[in-house]
Amino acid sequence: MSVRAQVRRVWYKITSHPDVSPRLMGICLGADCEWTIGPTEDLMGVGEEMIGHTSETGHCRFQRFVEDEAVVSLTEEGERMRRVLRNRRELAEKTDSKSVLVARDRTRQRIAEVEAEHARAE
């Protein structure tokens, strides 16, 4: 009896979410200074505030934190499609998932009915 295995390398890429702006936060590293700013999406504003703090206090060292939302995705289209098909097959095999899908469809139908009733009432 022989065992056969297939080893594949799966490549992922990490990118910033296109619909979410990065956020920046700054902390003054001056002795006994508790000045902070952010987090905010106004990246230029954080820089201006840091410059203003430096001009007022002479503190010139800051720690900056950049926050963003990341998206991890498969780089190979074939691998993505293989996983989508496998997930669909697993959903079709599970009886519990079928009932969830039926309930979701009923909820969507009820939402449409309610919206139609509201439209008629107006």
Q: Which domain holds residue 110?
A: 76-121
**62 lies in a domain?**
yes
Is 39 in the same domain as 58?
A: yes
Q: How many domains does the chain have?
A: 2
Span 14-39, average pLDDT: 90
Is 115 in the same domain as 84?
A: yes
Is 16 in the same domain as 68?
A: yes
Give the model's pLDDT for residue 100. Answer: 67
**Range of weakest confidence among 3-7, 72-76, 116-120:** 3-7
Is 17 in the same domain as 44?
A: yes
**Each residue's pLDDT tens digit, 31-43:** 899 999 988 988 8
For 113, other C-beta atoms within 10 Å of its C-beta total 10
Is 65 in the same domain as 82?
A: no
Contact 25, 37 (CB under 8 A): yes
**Each residue's pLDDT tens digit, 82-95:** 888 888 877 777 65
Is 29 in the same domain as 58?
A: yes
**6 lies in a domain?**
no
Is 42 in the same domain as 61?
A: yes
Contact 20, 69 (CB under 8 A): yes
